[in-house]
Amino acid sequence: MKIGIVCYPTYGGSGVVATELGKALASKGHQIHFISYALPMRLDGFQGDIYYHEVEMASYPLFEFPLYTPALASKMVEVARFEKLDLIHAHYAVPHATSAYLAREILDNGIKIVTTLHGTDITLVGLEPSFLPVMKFSIEQSDGVTAVSRFLKEKTLTNYGIEKEIRVIPNFVDIEKYKRIECDEVREKFAPRGERILVHTSNFRAVKRVTDVIRIFHEVRKSIPSKLILAGDGPDRSNCEILVRELGLKDEVRFLGKQHDLVPILSASDLFLMPSQSESFGLSALEAMSCGVPVISSSVGGLPELQVHGQTGYIAEFGDVIRMAKYATELLSNDQRYRMFARAARARAEEFECHKIVNRYEEYYQECLVAEHA
Ligand code: GMT
């Protein structure tokens, strides 16, 4: 198949899923054309059947705001025509599903559109009155729609009053790449006195509640000698830096900023913290679990579809910092239970192994290609 993949290139789960999916599909013989305004973060290294097309943005004194939606649609039309695409897969509905709809109408050549709903495109941004009618329309017009969890599917059906069939295809992980490796050097660097290491990775947006991560760590430290590693960057980073100083944790918390290779960091870690306010799946928790790291998370969104409470980690109500800290402390205090949890986390991650899930996307594409336009 010749597939156009549209995604955000930035540090975020939807771009990661789109890029890893494209790479996996290319390795199975499909021709993949990424379309975005910048090179997707994980699209590194040369791979024969992968192409990248950058969306150019015209500027004109009349335009106070960038006009990305039509520019993206025009690029989709160009790529689809020149490369004879069979299908365009839009990741994150806002505004990609709308641009894809426009492109399909212009092309009028039988090309199909699949939209994958990732999270805040449905739970937050898409619900803005300034977007909602366009989002509902664009999702309904897609030839196929997938959601990364049952939670997100239900939210879409109820919040938008959509009656369309939505296929749940969860996030996935490359279990050969995301596995625990020897990382004594990393441990030595971050925790020279053998302290336990807690870790969190995200794009530091408000929904991730990174300040809760710091507060949980503050509680855990009261009884367990430990360090906290924070990887990633985003709008809440400054608040977090301030809180760390206010709590007197400057020497105990390391802010690493954006990182390309998380495997050594996850491999050196003992617990992953994800106290999010909203999380449709929790890809970074899955990557941690694949490295054998148990997770303490909130109970929001799709997290209970990934995490098994009392086996792969613990789940507590969002905002309940004390309970999460208690769970973390208990787990880190019991070596035998900890080892069981670490094994269970890896075993659970194996259920989301890359090839299994990529096959499900491939099958879905085939179904959409043969189906009549809705
Ligand atoms: O919805 C978002 O916040 C954006 C998106 C991203 O690009 O970071 O994250 C979502 O998509 C990921 C991949 O499908 C999911 O694993 C994340 O749970 C989800 N984030 C939220 O729902 C907050």
C-beta 279 within 6 A of ligand 1: yes
Same domain? For 103 and 207 the reply is no
Q: Tell me, what amino acid is at 179?
A: K
Same domain? For 117 and 193 the reply is no
pLDDT at residue 247 in the model: 98
C-beta 329 within 6 A of ligand 1: no
C-beta 148 within 6 A of ligand 1: yes
With the most atoms of ligand 1 within 8 angstroms of its CB, the residue from 20, 155, 207, 280 to mutate is 280
**Considering the domain boundaries, does residue 178 fall inside one?**
no
User: Using CA atoms, how far apart are residues 46 and 34, in angstroms rounded to an integer?
Assistant: 13
**Considering the domain boundaries, does residue 253 fall inside one?**
yes
**Considering the domain boundaries, does residue 177 fall inside one?**
no
Residue 274, strand partner residues: 297
Same domain? For 364 and 313 the reply is no
Long-range contacts of 136-140 (CB under 8 A, 24+ apart): 136/160, 136/161, 136/162, 137/101, 138/93, 138/95, 138/97, 138/98, 138/100, 138/101, 139/93, 139/97, 139/115, 139/164, 140/164, 140/374
pLDDT at residue 374 in the model: 52
The secondary structure element, H or E, covering residue 199 is strand 196-201
Q: Is the pTM of this model over 0.85?
A: yes
**Considering the domain boundaries, does residue 51 fall inside one?**
yes
Query: Residue 168 in 3-state DSSP?
Result: strand
Residue 304 structure tokens: 């209970």
User: Using CA atoms, how far apart are residues 176 and 20, in angstroms rounded to an integer?
Assistant: 13
pLDDT at residue 61 in the model: 86
Residue 277, judged by CB atoms within 10 A of its CB (0-12, 13-18, 19+), counts as middle
Per-block mean pLDDT, blocks of 10 residues, the chain (374 long): 96 92 96 96 85 92 90 98 98 97 98 97 88 96 98 95 95 97 93 97 96 98 98 96 98 95 97 97 98 98 98 98 98 98 98 98 97 68
How many residues does the structure list for the chain?
374
For the chain, the first-to-last Cα distance in angstroms comes to 21
Instruction: For residue 240, give the CATH number of its domain.
Output: 3.40.50.2000
DSSP per-residue string spanning 12-81: SHHHHHHHHHHHHHHHTT-EEEEEESS--TT--S--TTEEEEEPP----TT-SS--HHHHHHHHHHHHHH
Same domain? For 360 and 249 the reply is no
C-beta 149 within 6 A of ligand 1: no
**Considering the domain boundaries, does residue 37 fall inside one?**
yes
Contact 300, 318 (CB under 8 A): yes
Same domain? For 343 and 284 the reply is yes
pLDDT at residue 373 in the model: 58
Residue 50 CA, ligand 1 centroid: distance in Å: 24
User: Using CA atoms, how far apart are residues 351 and 263, in angstroms rounded to an integer?
Assistant: 19
Same domain? For 298 and 162 the reply is no
Same domain? For 156 and 252 the reply is no
Residue-number span of the structural domain to which 142 is assigned? 2-172+354-370
Residue 254, strand partner residues: 229
The tally of domains found in the chain comes to 2
Contact 349, 99 (CB under 8 A): no
Nearest residue CA, atom 3 of ligand 1? Answer: 120
